[in-house]
Structure 1
Amino acid sequence: MTDYSAHIPFLPTSVEQLLPLLDLAGRAENLRLWLGQSLTIEPHQLFAYCAGRGLQAPVGTSVTLMALRHPYEAALQARSLAFVTGRPVVAGYGPGSTDFQLALAGDRYRSPLTAVTEYLGAVRGLLNGETVRLDGEYVRLHATLPHLPHPPVDLGLGVLRPAMARLAGEIADVAITWLCPPAYLRDVLIPELRVAADKAGRPTPRVVSVVHAAERKPRRDPVDLALSVCGAHLQAPHYVDMLRRAGIHAAPTDPLSGARTLVDEGIFLSGSLPELATGLQAYHAAGADEVVVNLSAVGATRGPAVATRELEFLLTALGSMRRPQR
């Protein structure tokens, strides 16, 4: 598995937008494609469509929100995706914001850690072929899945803060970070993962860091780019708390200032291709096993075609692809 992978750099609104990206993935060296929770085209269905169009790359979700699907449906979708792609899948999950929980379920997870523990435990049991009997605080399940051989499904957990890192160390295969600075990853999250995994007598989860980036170009304001894709995160309490723990000032009432801070602190990477490569390499140096290049800001402001083309140039600079003609 290459050390670099790619987040789909736009929220798809048509399948035709994906075709250049599928061509790119076919020419890359074992590139994993990631997509977070999309509310345009659902991620599992999108990746299944891509497999039908010939995509042979492994895929991952970074992350899907638990309130949208029962663990039984989550396990069924994850293993179905592994089956139709013929490749290992990373199925990443997270509780999402309290506003999202309230909007869908009418209540919030009073203990997100308990909710995640029950959810991942149920999904893992089903994927292992077990009959799951669980009457938990958040999950009720008495069922098994019919036998179906499929490539491995690794269970991922969105990790922002120490408590979730410890839980990931205990129960997850992959810890997925988003907007986490490299130093915070190195000094806080990874040590928590390792200690918890050691106590549980299991391997430390792989660390996957999703990193926003955009090449510096004329008439591009990196702060506007950061705001276009990070504005909602900068107003979400769990992201604000994570950034503050990392020593990064973030005010929910002033996302523009927060976006400027993300750029100034190198959390939203902006610069030349060599500068972007250096910024991404900092995540490997901090201990990330896989760094996911995310050009969603380019996709949001310049469109899917531009974002896909610039993704190819950046992956080439990182050594993950043959050099394209510019």
Structure 2
Amino acid sequence: MTQSRRIGAIFIPDLPPEALRASVLAAEAAGVGELWLWEDCFREGAFSSAGAALAWTERLRIGIGISPMPLRNVAIAAMEIATVERMFPGRLIPGVGHGVLSWMGQVGARVASPLTLMREYVPALRGLLAGETLTTDGRYVHLDDVTLDWPPAVAPTIHAAGEGPKTLRLTGEVADGTVLTGGTSPAQVAAARELIAEGRAAAGREGRNDIVVYVAVAFGADASARAAAQLERWNLAGEPERILTGDAGRIARGVEEYYEAGADAVILQPLPDESELSGFLGGVAEVAARVV
């Protein structure tokens, strides 16, 4: 897998589900290539949202970054992904991850070893989507002669979210791509790239993982003030590099640093106070025209 240069946007789940349709239509109209969804507890469901977004559009790709593994049996996750992929071939980018551990605890789904779960879950998910018949009896994943009746014609790439060194290495071992959390700096992207490559090499896998990173941005004349206020709310005052601000040209220069560090896709994240989503998505498209 060679390095790509993709730009996308995020539909943040601070917004209600009924706001999704206008956002995906605005993204497609603006020429944004990818719109990513979060399955935060206890907000929008990932696969119902993705299916609706794909049905409303013709070209837009929808990323799920991420669906928490503890919430879904791997066979159910494979069924959901296969169904959406068959209906909208090549337009879904599925991603899975540990989930926020406190949320997993709230619903009785927290596991003692998230790393073990990922090590068992992601290969099983990829195998089922490839049409394989699986029997496995791991610590968390148990399958007895399971085959999807309707596997996709082409299995989609599976991304796994990582933040700590052990998880980043593991995403290289078992996944096709890695999703890096918002607030990750270009230097941290470069360090993550090395860890992911180490994991991939240790597993004897060729090529490279697709690296997706979320980057918070604010467009417009009041961008710096809005960013400063948001950093205060995030307890990150004094770290202005956490949010890119300004016009499309300035933000494009910041995005270039992420590509140079090894990111393949930079997904621009609106601040929670963003009130002009169509304008934000237009800004994302303008950034994309400058860097892709």
Report TM bin, short chain. 0.7 to 0.9
TM-score by length of 2: 0.87
**Residue aligning to 2:81:** 78
Task: Report how many residues are paired.
Answer: 283
Change (3 A) 1:6 1:51: same
User: Is residue 2:248 matched to residue 1:273?
Assistant: yes
User: 1-side partners of 2:10 and 2:88: how far apart?
Assistant: 17
One-letter amino acid of the structure 2 residue matched with residue 36 of structure 1: W
8 Å CA contact 1:94–1:157 kept in 2: the answer is: yes
How far apart in 2 are the matches of 1:70 and 1:198? 29
Query: Is residue 128 of structure 2 the alignment partner of residue 156 of structure 1?
Result: no
Q: 1:181 maps to which residue? A: 185
SS in 2 for 1:141: strand
Give the C-alpha shift of residue 208 in structure 1: 0.9
Unaligned runs of 5+ in 2: none
Shift of 1:112: 1.7
Identity rate of aligned residues, in percent?
A: 22
Q: What SS class does the counterpart of residue 77 from structure 1 fall into?
A: helix
Question: Aligned pair 1:225/2:258, yes or no?
Answer: no
Whether 1:132 aligns to 2:137 is: no
| Separation in structure 2 between the aligned mates of residue 267 and residue 148 of structure 1, nearest angstrom | 40
Q: How does 1:284-295 map to 2 (within 5 A)?
A: 284-295=259-270
| 1:1-326 superposed matches below 5 A | 3-9=6-12, 11-15=14-18, 17-28=20-31, 31-38=33-40, 39-105=42-108, 108-142=110-144, 143-178=146-181, 179-186=183-190, 188-202=191-205, 203-218=207-222, 220-226=225-231, 231=234, 256=235, 258=236, 260-262=237-239, 264=240, 266-295=241-270, 297=271, 300-303=272-275, 306-319=276-289
Deviation at residue 277 of structure 1 after TM alignment: 1.6
Contact 1:216 1:222 in 2 (8 A): no
Contact 2:24 2:53 in 1 (8 A): no
Preserved contact between residue 198 and residue 204 of structure 1 (Cα < 8 Å)? no
Deviations for 1:223-266, whole angstroms, at most 9, x for unmatched residues? 333466xx4xxxxxxxxxxxxxxxxxxxxxxxx3x2x244x2x1
CA distance in 1, matches of 2:197, 2:9: 26
Distance (whole Å) between structure 1 residues aligned to residue 153 and residue 26 of structure 2: 25
Task: Answer whether contact 1:89 1:152 (CA < 8 A) is retained.
Answer: no
Structure 1 portions without partners, runs of 5+: 232-255, 322-326
The Cα shift of 1:101 comes to 2.2
Bigger Cα displacement from structure 2, 206-215 vs 35-44 = 35-44
CA contact (8 A) 1:37 1:65 kept: yes
CA distance in 2, matches of 1:102, 1:21: 32
**TM-score between the two structures when normalised by the length of structure 1:** 0.79
Q: Is the partner of 1:208 in helix, strand or coil?
A: strand
Asked if structure 2 preserves the Cα contact closer than 8 Å seen for 1:126 and 1:132, the reply is yes
Q: Quote the Cα distance in structure 2 between the aligned partners of 1:225 and 1:212.
A: 10
Give the RMSD, CA atoms, in angstroms.
2.4
Q: Give yes or no for contact 1:168–1:174 (8 Å, CA) kept in 2.
A: yes
